[in-house]
Amino acid sequence: MAFRTKRTLLKRKFVTNLALVLLLNLLIKPFWILGIDRSVQNAVGAEQYGLYFALFNFSLILNILLDLGITSFNNRNISQNSKLLNKHFSNIIAIRLMLGVAYFIISIGIAWLRNYQLDDLKLLAFLVFNQFLLSFILYLRSNIAGLHLFKTDSIISVLDRVLMIAICGVLLWGNVTQTPFKIKWFVFAQTAAYSITAAIAFILVLLNSGRIKLRFDKGFIIAIIKKSYPFAILTLLMASYNRFDAVLLIEILPERIGAEQAGIYAQAFRLLDAASMFSLLFAGLLLPMFSKMIKQKEPIGQLTQLSFILVVVPAVIVATSCVFYRHEIMQLLYHQHIESSSTIFAILMIGFISISTTYIFGTLLTANGSLKHLNIMAVFGVAVNIILNFILIPKLQATGSAIASLTTQTFTALVQVIIAIKIFKFRINYKLLILLLIFAAGVILFGLMSKNLPYNWMINATFMLIMSFVLAFGIGLIKIKDLYSIIKYDK
């Protein structure tokens, strides 16, 4: 009875903290993506934004040099033993400063060898610094989450976006400048927001760790790197097949065409990135929970199934809705390249279902320390992605990159599910699979019905969304009784 009570408490904690995270992010991040980021691209144009997008992804791929897997390792480790915070924090801060210098030199060095223009190098330098700040924030948040201070972590997770909305909002609509909006202002706004957020997060961690002193303990540094390098390899590989598309568009296609195609791809990718943030929130909450449960040898089947259902049901609804209303959504958000970006958008959003699945099962395998399996999977994912991009980009341009992305995401998601089933000896829930198939078919049917309704497309899409969620509850995929019993449970 006590064991069941403990499991109920964990499930309750997951659902209640997830609700807070979703609420904060639903309030902030859609406005950031659809209001600020979209407005910036409309203001500067597809070509200029496409160049920024490619440089941003370039800095993002190499930012593994900032971390070497330390954040994922730290989150898992602090979740299992919070007493290690003070010792780890003092040493890891020193490591990260050294890694930051190395990351900056290598990133700018590679770009210089690739004959990037001087203006591009200047913009990249700020993007590299921003990645350093963002990586530092994520490390600080891993300590906060590792201590199970989920509410605090939820607030920090949106603070940088709140600050950027304020700064960019003034620059875009405040009539404070005499010249048109420039992409470098967007980058500078990120620098300011990340700096403030990093300072606040640092103070919060300091309050929990006590006084720190930078330490260059050679033995500790070597030990940490040995333990964290599998996380680093995994992060690098997954970043490669998730973010390499825009970089390859610039590399494979002629200069101006490549920049424009990267901008068109960015238009479609933006909403996928926004949707993926919510799945990422699940992973952020689940990693410390899975880690603690696995260490204490508690069964994780119920939490895995609950989290999978809560993430995949909205993913199917959102992805299908975006496929049916791809043209209307792109036309609402952008001024140019509507047809081409609509097609890319539909392809990418189908992959959102696979991405959401990865966030659940990939997090479970990471918490278990199954890095060898994940790295082998990721190597094949990178190979599939690069090969398909080189085949498809010359023929289909940005659409080819979208197809490569969808194929890669589907392949890697299926592999992770299979690995998790084998390692944890999960029994395949055939009833759940049948319900998911019925649900997916029902969502498609509602989509077809909604397209034939004689109303504005927003009303039709809303009908589709409402009916799809009603179906999910109606066939028992999501059970109100179970959620209510978890939330109302009194500790």
Q: Is residue 456 part of a domain?
A: no
The reply to whether 477 falls in a domain is no
Alpha carbon 39 to chain centroid, angstroms: 21
Question: Is residue 460 included in any domain, yes or no?
Answer: no
Q: What is the pLDDT of residues 242-285, one digit of tens each?
A: 667 877 888 888 877 888 888 888 888 888 887 887 777 777 77
Determine the pLDDT at residue 86: 56
Domain-located, residue 335:
yes
Tell me the C-alpha distance between 317 and 465, whole Å. Answer: 7
Matching residue, tokens 């790295």: 375
Q: How many domains does one find in the chain?
A: 1
Q: What is the per-residue pLDDT across 424-449, written as a single tens digit (0 to 9) for each?
A: 888 888 888 999 999 999 999 999 99
Question: DSSP letter at 425?
Answer: T
| Listed ranges 201-210, 220-229, 308-317; the one with the highest mean pLDDT | 308-317
417 pLDDT above the threshold of 90: yes
Helices 46-62, 118-146: axis angle to 10 degrees equals: 50
Alpha carbon distance 215, 253 (integer Å) = 47
Instruction: Take residue 91 and report the two structure tokens written for it.
Output: 């040493």
Has residue 436 been placed in a domain? no
Q: Which residue, 232, 235, 231, is CA-closest to 367?
A: 231
- 125-151: pLDDT as tens digits: 999 999 999 888 887 887 776 666 767
Residues 6+ apart with CB under 8 A from 15: 306, 483, 486, 487
Q: Are 440 and 315 in contact (CB under 8 A)?
A: no
Please report which confidence band the pLDDT of residue 414 belongs to, taking 50, 70 and 90 as the band edges.
very high
| CA–CA distance, 316 with 313 (Å, rounded to integer) | 5
Structure tokens given for 172 = 């875009």
Task: Say if 455 falls within a structural domain.
Answer: no
Whether residue 315 has pLDDT greater than 90: yes
Residue 304 sits at φ, ψ, to 5 deg, of: -65, -45
Number of Cβ within 10 Å of residue 126's Cβ equals 16
Domain span holding position 106 = 13-427
- Residue 332 lies inside a defined structural domain of this protein: yes
CA distance 295 to 313: 29
Q: Which of 240, 236, 238 is nearest to 228 (CA)?
A: 236
> Apex CA 134: angle with CA 11 and CA 383, to 5°?
80
Average pLDDT, the chain: 81
Inside any domain, residue 6: no
Digit-coded pLDDT (tens) for 45-69 = 877 888 888 888 888 777 767 766 6
- pLDDT over threshold 60, residue 488: no
Confidence at residue 28, expressed as pLDDT on a 0 to 100 scale? 79
CA 233 – CA 218 distance, rounded (Å) = 22
pLDDT of residue 491: 40
Residue with token string 């210098």: 101
